[in-house]
Structure 1
Amino acid sequence: MPITDRDLCREAIRRTLRRRAGDLPDSLAIAQATSEIWHLMSAQVTPVIGDNGLDAILKRALLLTSVVFPWLASLDGQLDNDSFPARMTELMAGRESVVAAQAGSSLLITFTELLATLIGNSLTRRLLDPVWEVDFVVTEQEKTS
């Protein structure tokens, strides 16, 4: 099965979160890493879609992600880019580290995919590639295996 850009993006997000959280991270380290990544993402995206656009995609990403992680639904409709990192850290810090990592990566992936739906894959990659600590470069053999 060929590897798609979507698969590469998802893996890049997961790897970036793992690297930022450190070796054997607890849920607080994962929460802090998620917040750091969010700050980087929002700084890249806000000049293109504005604060309101960023907040709208974030709220939608939270809604979709809360289907799998219902505890995320407690982040109410008053949430915005400024309050998100602290509120997310509070929620994630009390979870098992595996659950926190899954929720964090799922939320970041969902946000990225919603953004790509709005502005296109190419622009999304140009904006967010600097955030990811992993190259999207794959060999032809990896694409076809």
Structure 2
Amino acid sequence: MVDSEDRTGIDSILAQQVAAGAGADAVADAVVAAWHEIDGALRPVLGQRGVAALYGRCVYVVATRHPWIEELRDGASTQIDFAALTSVLAGQPAGQAAAGGSELLQTLYELLASLLGPALTEQLLHNVRPHLSGGSPAQDTSS
């Protein structure tokens, strides 16, 4: 399982964007950019359908707490619909978009860590968090 520091990091990156005045569009852009990075990192290993299956599972799990994410379930088993993800996130208030988007990302980390182990998960996805924050891997986002 991904440690609480990673979860706090993902949550705090998006929360900081909202606190700085970012709207749902900016949050959606950050979350979708992260999913593009995830897709790029995992597709060579799992294939398009494998990545889509993980995404679909994340959508299914997160929709229990954020029902508006349910809209993303259509077609999620064969590919990630980045336009739909952007639209659904951007259509929410910024705080809800950040909460739902960070939960989608965190759920992926937790799912992968349970399947592959935390070390391999971190190795595969080490570039995603810096892309979310717009900073370098050494940037501290915990404060």
What is aligned with 1:97? 94
TM-score, with structure 2 as normaliser? 0.80
Shift of 1:112: 1.2
Residue 74 in structure 1 maps to residue 87 in structure 2: no
TM-score, with structure 1 as normaliser? 0.79
Moved more, 47-56 or 58-67: 47-56
Q: Is the CA contact (8 Å cut-off) linking 2:52 and 2:80 kept in structure 1? A: no
Shift of 1:15: 4.0
Residue 56 in structure 1 maps to residue 38 in structure 2: no
Q: Which runs of 5+ in 2 are unaligned?
A: 131-136
Larger radius of gyration: 1
Q: Which runs of 5+ in 1 are unaligned?
A: 138-145
Match of 1:95, as an amino acid?
Q
Q: 2:126 aligns with which of 125, 129, 141?
A: 129
Aligned-CA RMSD value: 2.5
Give the number of equivalent residue pairs: 133
For 1:48 and 1:136, the matched residues in 2 are separated by 28
Shift of 1:21: 7.3
